[in-house]
Structure 1
Amino acid sequence: MNRSFTLLLPLLLFFVSATACKPTNPTGQDTVGTTNNDKIQMTNRLIIRIEANTFTATLLDNPTVTAFKARLPITLSMRELNGNEKFAELTSVLPTNAANPGTIQTGDLMLYGSNTLVLFYETFRTSYSYTKLGRIDNPAGLAAALGSGNVTITFELE
């Protein structure tokens, strides 16, 4: 018994000291030396660049958004669909929690299925299910910026 205690004591002290030395940031503010993973965890702000136009969006806090943010920045060639949305297939799947929103709002950013990113530029009723990612804060001018055809869009964290 004494020999077991002698072997376990150094191990116990190592774990206690390792957890006690973890840096904390109780303010939640961005700090010097912040890594990309820290930035992913701290921000829910997204910049969307469409040619010369820039929009900001507020992202939700869910596992899909966390996985999406880990892939940013990303530039996608988004295709036109139905005169109300642009979409692009992502190279990997994201976790989903799809539900029918009833009405899509201009500026909604959603995931269809597990790997189709959709940016809506018109408000309309829908019977489809999506996983919500976020929404453009001020979508004025979004439809004009997106145009009627395919477009290249860059998504990055603010």
Structure 2
Amino acid sequence: MKNLIILLMGLFFVTGSIACKTDEPAIPDVNVENNDENTRDTMSNQLKIKIGSKTFNATLFDNATASAFKARLPLTISMSELNGNEKLYNFPTNLPTNASNPRTINTGDLMIYGSNVLVLFYKSFATSYSYTRLGRIADTSGLEAALAASAAGSGNVTVIFELE
């Protein structure tokens, strides 16, 4: 009887081992490099935002809007003033969006209003509008001053967006 139990246990072990076997490698090859420069560059979610002599580091969110935005980079644009708390730019074509109301806009938020308006916020405030989140500046120290100084009284400011 003892031999029969040992034999059955061995049979279950062998059957279980065969059933769990796959043709997939146990560890994926992580050393494969992608030689397509455009694909490699757009994989980064780290963004540099240059305003005059100041550079701000931002992180883009992982969404379809950010992917479409990254495909347009590097980008040098003239952003207009709106409401004393944000700079905006109208893209000539739409981006994919998934708008929602954030309730509060924070200094350093980078968002899309509608389907083609890029908005960089330099003051925090409550809002009833809906936006698609694009990214966020990590350290906003000096952001408002950089936007005001670069605007030189016109309200428009040149901003450069590029991936790190």
TM-score normalised by structure 1 residue count? 0.79
The equivalent of 2:156 in structure 1 is 150
Per the alignment, do residues 100 and 157 of structure 1 end up closer, same or farther by CA in structure 2, a change over 3 Å counting?
same
Per the alignment, do residues 38 and 124 of structure 1 end up closer, same or farther by CA in structure 2, a change over 3 Å counting?
same
Alignment partner of 1:103 is 2:104: yes
The equivalent of 1:11 in structure 2 is none
Residue 32 (structure 1) shift: 8.2
Give the Cα–Cα distance (whole angstroms) in 2 for the partners of residues 145 and 25 of structure 1. 45
Q: Structure 2: where are the runs of 5+ without partners?
A: 1-27
The equivalent of 2:23 in structure 1 is none
Per the alignment, do residues 105 and 27 of structure 1 end up closer, same or farther by CA in structure 2, a change over 3 Å counting?
farther
Contact 2:51 2:147 in 1 (8 A): yes
Q: Based on CA coordinates, which of the two structures has the bigger radius of gyration?
A: 2
Aligned partner of residue 93 in structure 1, secondary structure:
coil
The equivalent of 2:95 in structure 1 is 94
Give the Cα–Cα distance (whole angstroms) in 2 for the partners of residues 137 and 85 of structure 1. 17
The equivalent of 2:18 in structure 1 is none
Aligned partner of residue 144 in structure 1, secondary structure:
helix
Q: Structure 1: where are the runs of 5+ without partners?
A: 1-23
Per the alignment, do residues 48 and 38 of structure 1 end up closer, same or farther by CA in structure 2, a change over 3 Å counting?
same
Aligned residues: 132
RMSD value, Cα: 1.8
Residue 91 (structure 1) shift: 1.9
Per the alignment, do residues 103 and 77 of structure 1 end up closer, same or farther by CA in structure 2, a change over 3 Å counting?
same
Shift >6 Å, 4+ stretches: none
Give the Cα–Cα distance (whole angstroms) in 1 for the partners of residues 133 and 72 of structure 2. 17
Residue 26 (structure 1) shift: 2.0
Give the Cα–Cα distance (whole angstroms) in 2 for the partners of residues 71 and 55 of structure 1. 19
Residue 25 (structure 1) shift: 6.3
Give the Cα–Cα distance (whole angstroms) in 2 for the partners of residues 92 and 59 of structure 1. 20
Identity within the alignment, %: 58
